[in-house]
Amino acid sequence: MAFRLKLVPDHTEIDFFRWQSVTFGGSIAVVVASILLTIFMGLNFGIDFRGGTTIRTESPQPVDVGAYRQAIQPLGLGDMLITEVFDPTFGPDKNVAMIRVEAQDGEEAITPEVIRSIETALQTADPSIAFTSVESVGPKVSGELIWSAVMAIGAASLAIVVYIWLRFEWQFALGAVVALIHDIAITIGIFALFQIKFDLSIIAALLTILGYSINDTVVVFDRLRENLIKFKSTPLRDLCNLSVNETLSRTVMTSGTTLIALIALLVLGGDVIRGFVFAMTLGVVVGTYSSVYVAKNVVLLLGTKRDWSKPSGTTGTQFGDVDA
């Protein structure tokens, strides 16, 4: 007999609305608190958003990121990002690295004196190192990056809402957008609370969280729509509970396996990707919670039609019978 791992029994009858005032009300309170934390404490923007200087190095010796970082850290220059550049055209004697140092207080870019001190420090780690270029990113460009990041998240959220509206009903679309706001706001709030570095990699994580969260929410919504057709006289509250219980095993298995990989990366991945992985880990947990406790609560509060065989002329449900 084949072995099957079951984290959740095949049939569960959990009442997810039993503590509705605590779960849904608590979610609203946490979202509000996260927004206030972001406004009053601010985010600890990284080089991408604060501006800084990028130094490109080249050496016949392999790039030792740890040695480079250890050589520069005594200078006390704050946020620093060191990455090795890989290119198939590079020969074995061409090892290139990019060193990004944040702009110092009151300056658009680091001064020539500081650049020389960085070069001197790196030469102690690798005497054969050469410096091929120095480029600075000022506050204006950083401000444009912040605006672009906001636009990217907004555009992704809008596209998701339109899809849900076409696939289901406007009540489902509103439930989905509330869940997405919940996930993004709490994730950003945690970064503001603990002043974790916030850079472009975190924006990538937030966009990934949007896709992951909506995927889980759509699974619950799809089962709810099937149950609305199947049980026309059953109260909507009971159908919401039934739908979540029927998809609970899938939700737990998907989130659990994703978290295993993320936690491994969080522990073993190193400093370069730790912020991205932390945001993803937090987003998976919060996104799973919102799919179960937030999105369906909004649908229950707004109500929805029960006869899906008659598409409404005011919504996009003409696409409701198309497989996702």
For the stretch 230-246, pLDDT in tens is: 888 888 888 889 888 88
Measured in degrees and rounded to the nearest 5, phi and psi for residue 81 equal -130, 125
Task: For the chain, state the CA radius of gyration.
Answer: 25
Predicted pLDDT at 309: 57
Contact (CB, 8 A) for 35 and 189: yes
Domains of the chain in sequence order: 20-44+142-319 (1.20.1640.10), 52-137 (3.30.70.380)
Crossing angle of helices 271-293 and 20-41, rounded to 10°: 140
Residue with tokens 């985010």: 43
Report pLDDT digits (tens) over 115-171.
889 888 888 888 888 888 887 766 555 667 778 888 888 888 888 888 888 887 888
CB atoms within 10 A of CB 184: 22
Token reading at 248? 């609970």
pTM of the predicted structure, to 2 decimals: 0.76
**Can you name the residues that pair with 197 across neighbouring β-strands?**
44
Predicted pLDDT at 1: 46
Q: How far apart are CA 48 and CA 102, in angstroms?
A: 9
Token reading at 245? 């219980």
CB atoms within 10 A of CB 75: 14
Predicted pLDDT at 308: 54
Among the listed residues 320, 299, 300, the one whose alpha carbon sits nearest the alpha carbon of residue 309 = 320
pLDDT, averaged per 10 consecutive residues of the chain (324 residues), comes to 60 81 90 94 80 84 87 83 79 84 68 86 88 74 73 85 82 88 93 88 87 86 87 86 88 89 86 86 92 88 68 51 50
- Burial class from Cβ neighbours inside 10 Å (0-12, 13-18, 19+) for residue 266 reads middle
Residue with tokens 């605590």: 22
Predicted pLDDT at 311: 55
Among the listed residues 139, 151, 152, the one whose alpha carbon sits nearest the alpha carbon of residue 207 = 152
Angle at 40 between CA 38 and CA 45, to 5 degrees: 50
Predicted pLDDT at 9: 65
Angle at 197 between CA 271 and CA 291, to 5 degrees: 95
Predicted pLDDT at 324: 46
CA 47 to chain centre: 19
Alpha carbon distances (Å) from 297 to 11, 33, 154, 192, 253: 22, 20, 23, 27, 23
Predicted pLDDT at 302: 85
Predicted pLDDT at 37: 94
Q: How far apart are CA 99 and CA 71, in angstroms?
A: 12
Q: How far apart are CA 321 and CA 229, in angstroms?
A: 12
